[in-house]
Structure 1
């Protein structure tokens, strides 16, 4: 009897953990946005915990920093709102996945979730996302509707994951999406290129 209980508990935990993995990579759905004329620049996951870790080469970071700052300057010059998206794992199952598979990085309440030094104070708005898709909480939907935004320019990291999932969620809603290739980073450059090719098939523009 006791072994049956143990087996049930282990199975339940495995299912719960697997659901956390599913939630992390899921792409949310939302209402079609219709015609909107505005544009916004999204800075994705440019946080100390990622930027200051030994994940990306100094050369890659230097190139991306230069391009991100250029995009920010252009946005400000054209009165385009700048929205920074910060990752904080806060759902119990996704926190468990982050602790187990992601070195505990970016769990809510831990150090490093703040915007990294080179990009601090640049955004007009800062939102927190709980999974890779920045639209999951619906807060981004609400803000973009208030700003009458129909086109999104994406920069930040990681190209394969949070950038890609946010782009796909945006396209699902009808946004025009542009990824600035020199302003995104990935720990897996080869995989990132494959991801960008996949996104072009979903009518995401690369610049």
Structure 2
């Protein structure tokens, strides 16, 4: 009987560990409030090969969104606005397991396809790796934006309901002026609820 108890206890511990990993993936972080910054940055989220080429997006949608994103990049560079690309790499032990179980193992750190997709290769001034949906979670984006004196963000990329939404919420919690360029964002599912939630948090939709 003791062996059964040990087995059940171990199973429960593993399940709790995985649940904690799921919660961490979707959590929105908090950070120091932004004050007195007048700079702007364009943030590209998860425009990497594995998601762009193998995600649930039609070719027509990708072509339309790529056109908008490249226009946004061109406009930003013309104004001297930095372009920051965030790339997803699942590197935490629990998230790597979850990615293998539910995401076909896509974007696990060290795997193929984590580089920016061909239409976006080489266009970013800065590239940062994120570990969960919220691009602010590691603190690296906070530090870079502080260094660049950025107080306003324009956001494009994928996926609307997940990494785009969570990073946008992480930004607005810190006091950034956030504009989500909807024509430059891909979504695999309906976005009505997410859209309403973001607007309710003061995020501008362009």
Provide the residue aligned with 1:180 in structure 2. Answer: 181
* Deviation of 1:46 (Å): 0.1
RMSD over aligned Cα atoms: 0.6
Instruction: After TM superposition, give the deviation of residue 22 of structure 1 in Å.
Output: 0.5
Paired with 2:22 and 2:36, the residues of 1 have a C-alpha distance of 34
SS in 1 for 2:115: coil
State the TM-score, normalized to the length of structure 2: 0.98
2:203 equivalent in structure 1 = 204
SS of structure 2 residue aligned to 1:183: strand
**What are the residue-to-residue correspondences of 1:155-194 with 2, within 5 Å?**
155-188=156-189, 190=190, 192-194=191-193
Name 2:25's counterpart in structure 1. Answer: 24
In the alignment, the residues of structure 1 paired with residue 94 and residue 36 of structure 2 have an alpha-carbon distance, to the nearest angstrom, of 37
Q: List runs of 5+ in structure 1 lacking aligned partners.
A: none
- The list of structure 1 runs, each at least 4 consecutive aligned residues, that deviate by more than 4 angstroms after superposition, is none
Q: Secondary structure at the match of 2:23?
A: helix
Identify the residue that residue 145 of structure 1 maps to in structure 2. 146
Cα distance in 2 for partners of 1:37, 1:54 equals: 36
Supply the distance in 1 between the matched residues of 2:34 and 2:66 (Cα, whole angstroms): 31
Task: Determine the structure 1 residue equivalent to 2:130.
Answer: 129
The answer to whether structure 1 residue 82 and structure 2 residue 88 are counterparts is no
Shift of 1:35: 1.7
What TM-score does the superposition give when structure 1 sets the normalisation length? Answer: 0.98
Deviation of 1:198 (Å): 1.1
Distance 1:182 1:20 in 2: 31
* Number of residue-to-residue matches in the alignment: 205
Q: Is 1:4 matched up with 2:5? A: yes
- Paired with 1:35 and 1:45, the residues of 2 have a C-alpha distance of 29
Question: Shift of the alpha carbon at 1:54?
Answer: 4.6
Give 5+ residue unaligned stretches, structure 2: none
- 1:182 aligned counterpart, secondary structure: strand
- Mapped to 2, the partners of 1:35 and 1:199 lie a distance apart of 24
Once the two structures are TM-superposed, the CA of residue 194 in structure 1 deviates from its matched residue by: 2.0
